[in-house]
Amino acid sequence: MKSRVHPKYKTKYHVGNWAQYDRVLVQRGDVTVWVSADAMDAWKPEASGRPGGQRRFSDSAIETALTLRLVFGLPFRQTAGFLRSILALTGAALDAPDHTTLSRRSQRLGISLHVTRDPGPIHLLIDSTGLSVFGAGEWAAVKHGRRGQRGWKKLHLGVDRAGVIVAQAVTESTIDDATVGIELIESVDDELARVTADAAYDTLAIYEAARARGAAVVVPPKQTARVSRRGPRSSTRDRTITRVQAIGRRRWKKASGYHRQAGVENTFFRSKRIIGGSLRARRPKGRVVEACLGCNVLNRMVALGRAQSYAIGR
């Protein structure tokens, strides 16, 4: 059987800015940390005006600590010690939150996705991957002598052509991809030019959601897909099915530009190499915060620079 890892029909690409991209990759590993004056001023929150003990650390301080924990793969206690040493080295007269504060506040932290991208319509690439979790049920099984099995969550991402994450969601592993795909499409504030996804998103609802945003859809039909003979139906989906049947799936993917779907798969690869393939938080809200922090870390790295590649042959 011939290998399908690198088929001959696949287009070859060359990185044109390798020297610059090489410096960017080195810069991504730079551990130089500085604390700006604005960050120092926002480290301690203002008094809430309510009776009882007041918070000692703002959401910004907790987010900083949790981001360092995620990037360096530290437990909560080591995170507190690491941040305390950073603040001491910078000469900032600030204290670091302890491990119990980090664990408690991570469940209620209000955090949003930080997106920095070039202006213009978005070519949205959608896909999902599994992240393992180890919850109380699995821990109890191991404690009592049985083999614990890891559970799974799904991380859904919407990525633009430059690799910037513009939408994300964490769901149970049983949730349908196409259902979350609609939410990702609707959550993007910028103009959408095209939505690309794999056959798991071949539903009428996806076509309707993209049409409502004025975006074209590049989704390969399922193997069993047939042209609709009665409503509800989508004329765009019917044309795709007819075209695939006429020229074949491989030629359709090449002609439609479906190969750009690899962009979101590359993002998942970078996420699992840099952040990891599991969620360490034990509670649902903490897992949502952890996943969003990971997306922000990846976006920060992409903002430093990215490879500029071009096709050199077929």
**Domain spans in the chain, listed from the N-terminal domain onward:** 42-105, 122-281
pLDDT value at position 6? 61
CA–CA distances in Å: residue 240 to residues 126, 263, 304, 311: 18, 22, 38, 26
pLDDT of residue 305 exceeding 70, the answer is yes
Contact predicate 303/295, CB 8 Å: no
User: pLDDT tens for residues 158-207?
Assistant: 999 888 999 999 999 889 999 999 999 999 988 999 999 999 999 999 99
pLDDT value at position 140? 58
User: In sequence order, which ranges of 97-215 are alpha helices (DSSP H)?
Assistant: 99-105, 136-143, 177-187, 204-212
pLDDT value at position 77? 93
User: pLDDT tens for residues 11-61?
Assistant: 777 888 888 888 888 888 777 777 777 878 888 887 777 777 778 888 899
Alpha carbon dihedral 301, 165, 310, 254, in 10-degree steps, equals: 150
In CATH, the number for domain 122-281 is 3.30.420
pLDDT of residue 7 exceeding 70, the answer is no
pLDDT value at position 129? 93
pLDDT value at position 194? 94
Question: For the residues 111-117, what does the mean pLDDT come to?
Answer: 86
**Cross-strand bridge partners of residue 159:** 125, 165
User: pLDDT tens for residues 228-239?
Assistant: 877 677 888 999
For 239, the token pair is 């044309």
CA-closest candidate to residue 163, choices 260, 254, 72: 260
User: pLDDT tens for residues 237-286?
Assistant: 999 999 999 999 989 998 998 988 988 999 999 999 989 888 888 888 99
Which amino acid is located at 210 in the chain?
A: A
pLDDT value at position 141? 58
Contact predicate 291/155, CB 8 Å: yes
For 166, the token pair is 């513009």
pLDDT value at position 154? 93
User: pLDDT tens for residues 124-161?
Assistant: 999 999 998 865 555 555 566 655 556 789 999 999 98
Mean of pLDDT over the chain: 85
**Cross-strand bridge partners of residue 311:** 13
Number of neighbouring beta carbons within 10 Å of residue 140: 11
**Cross-strand bridge partners of residue 149:** none
User: For a pLDDT cut of 70, what percent of the chain falls above it?
Assistant: 90
pLDDT value at position 137? 56
pLDDT value at position 185? 95
CA-closest candidate to residue 114, choices 167, 77, 60, 169: 167
